[in-house]
Amino acid sequence: MRIREIKLNKFKRFTDLTISGIPTTAKLVVLVGPNGSGKTSVFEGMNHWYKYKGFYTYGDMTFYIKEGDKEEINKNNWGDNRVKISTHDVEFSNQEDIRGCFYFRTAHRNEPDFVTNNLSRQDNPKNRIKYNTLMDTDCTVSENYQRLVSNTLSGVFNQRNDNKSVKDLREELIGKIRESLHNVFDDLQLTSIGDPLVNGSFYFTKGNSENFHYKNLSAGEKSAFDLLLDIVIKSVYFENTVYCIDEPESHMHTALQSKLLAEMYNLIPNNSQLWLSTHSIGMLEKAREIELENPNTVCFLNFSDIDFDAPTILMPTTINSTIWNKFLELTFGDFAKLIAPNKVVFCEGTIQGRSYKNFDAQVYSRIFSSKYPDTSFISIGSCIELENDDNISMKIIKEVLKNSTIIKFVDRDDKSNDEVLDLESKGIKVLRKRHLECYLLDDEIIIKLCKIHNNDDKIEECLAAKRQAIEESKNRGNPEDDIKSASGKIYTELKRILCLRQCGNKKDSFLRDTITPLITEDTQVYQELESEIFI
Q: Which domains does the chain have, with CATH numbers?
A: 3-151+225-331 (3.40.50), 338-533 (no CATH)
What's the rounded Cα separation, in Å, for the pair 133 and 150?
Answer: 28
> Which pLDDT score is estimated for 383?
73
Among 46-55, 88-97, 258-267, 488-497, the least confident range: 88-97
Cβ(111)–Cβ(215) below 8 Å: no
The pLDDT of residue 338 is above 90: no
> Which pLDDT score is estimated for 304?
82
Among 192-196, 271-275, 415-419, the least confident range: 192-196
> Which pLDDT score is estimated for 353?
46
> Which pLDDT score is estimated for 80?
81
What value does the mean pLDDT take over residues 105-113?
93
Spell out a b/e string for 333-364, using b for 16 or more CB atoms within 10 Å of the CB, else e: eeebeeebbebbbbbbbbebeeebebbbbbbb
Tally DSSP H helices, then E strands, for the chain.
20, 16
Q: How many Cβ atoms from other residues are within 10 Å of residue 432's Cβ? A: 12
Q: For the residues of 427-475, what is the DSSP string, one character each?
A: TEEE-SSSSHHHHHT-HHHHHHHHHHTT-GGGHHHHHHHHHHHHHHHHH
What value does the mean pLDDT take over residues 409-421?
93
How do residues 276-314 score in pLDDT, each as one tens digit?
998 887 888 888 889 889 999 999 998 887 889 899 999
pTM of the entire structure?
0.67
What value does the mean pLDDT take over residues 57-86?
81
What value does the mean pLDDT take over residues 367-386?
83
> Which pLDDT score is estimated for 399?
67
How do residues 220-261 score in pLDDT, each as one tens digit?
999 999 999 999 999 999 999 999 999 998 888 777 888 999
> Which pLDDT score is estimated for 341?
78
The pLDDT of residue 524 is above 90: yes
The pLDDT confidence band at residue 121, using thresholds 50, 70 and 90, is confident
What's the rounded Cα separation, in Å, for the pair 387 and 149?
Answer: 48
The pLDDT of residue 330 is above 80: no
> Which pLDDT score is estimated for 47?
94
The pLDDT of residue 387 is above 50: yes
Residue 19 pairs in a beta bridge with 6, 314
Considering the chain, what percentage of its residues have pLDDT values greater than 70?
Answer: 89
> Which pLDDT score is estimated for 74?
72
The pLDDT of residue 101 is above 50: yes
Print the SS3 string covering 152-204: HHHHHCCHHHCCCCHHHHHHHHHHHHHHHHHHHCCCCEEEECCCCCCCECCEE
> Which pLDDT score is estimated for 384?
77
User: Which of the given ranges, 187-196, 238-247, 405-414, has the highest pLDDT on average?
Assistant: 238-247
Those residues with Cβ within 8 angstroms of residue 535's Cβ, 6 or more apart along the chain or in another chain: none
> Which pLDDT score is estimated for 352?
47
> Which pLDDT score is estimated for 289?
87
Q: Residue 529 corresponds to which amino acid?
A: L
Q: How many Cβ atoms from other residues are within 10 Å of residue 520's Cβ? A: 12
The pLDDT of residue 158 is above 70: no
What value does the mean pLDDT take over residues 130-159?
83
CA–CA–CA angle 142, 144, 149 (5° rounding):
95
H-type helices in 294-344, by residue range? 321-332, 335-339
Mean pLDDT score across all residues of the chain: 87
Which among 102, 101, 89 is positioned nearest to 23, based on CA atoms? 89
> Which pLDDT score is estimated for 14?
92
What value does the mean pLDDT take over residues 452-480?
96
Q: Check residue 513 and report its DSSP letter.
A: I
The pLDDT of residue 60 is above 80: yes
> Which pLDDT score is estimated for 374?
82
How do residues 210-221 score in pLDDT, each as one tens digit?
999 999 999 999
Spell out a b/e string for 287-296, using b for 16 or more CB atoms within 10 Å of the CB, else e: bbbbbeeeee
How far does Cα 186 stand from its chain's mean position? 11
In terms of Cβ atoms closer than 10 Å to its own Cβ (0-12, 13-18, 19+), residue 497 is middle
> Which pLDDT score is estimated for 154?
66
Reduced to 3 states (helix: H, G, I; strand: E, B; else coil), residue 127 is helix
CA–CA–CA angle 117, 119, 121 (5° rounding):
155
The pLDDT of residue 69 is above 70: yes
Which among 257, 274, 263 is positioned nearest to 331, based on CA atoms? 257
Spell out a b/e string for 401-429, using b for 16 or more CB atoms within 10 Å of the CB, else e: beebeebbbbbbbebeeeebeebeeeebb
Cβ(312)–Cβ(18) below 8 Å: yes
> Which pLDDT score is estimated for 380?
78
The pLDDT of residue 431 is above 50: yes
What value does the mean pLDDT take over residues 418-432?
92
What value does the mean pLDDT take over residues 510-527?
96
> Which pLDDT score is estimated for 354?
45
> Which pLDDT score is estimated for 91?
86
Residue 278 pairs in a beta bridge with 32
Among 10-14, 478-482, 512-516, the least confident range: 10-14
Reduced to 3 states (helix: H, G, I; strand: E, B; else coil), residue 300 is strand
The pLDDT of residue 189 is above 90: yes
Cβ(399)–Cβ(339) below 8 Å: no
The pLDDT confidence band at residue 442, using thresholds 50, 70 and 90, is very high
The pLDDT confidence band at residue 339, using thresholds 50, 70 and 90, is low
In terms of Cβ atoms closer than 10 Å to its own Cβ (0-12, 13-18, 19+), residue 373 is exposed
The pLDDT of residue 322 is above 60: no
- Which one is predicted more confidently, 255 or 41? 41
What's the rounded Cα separation, in Å, for the pair 481 and 479?
Answer: 5
The pLDDT of residue 478 is above 90: yes
Which phi and psi angles does 5 have, rounded to 5°?
-155, 145
Q: Residue 228 corresponds to which amino acid?
A: L
What value does the mean pLDDT take over residues 67-79?
74
Q: Check residue 66 and report its DSSP letter.
A: P
What's the rounded Cα separation, in Å, for the pair 221 and 233?
Answer: 18
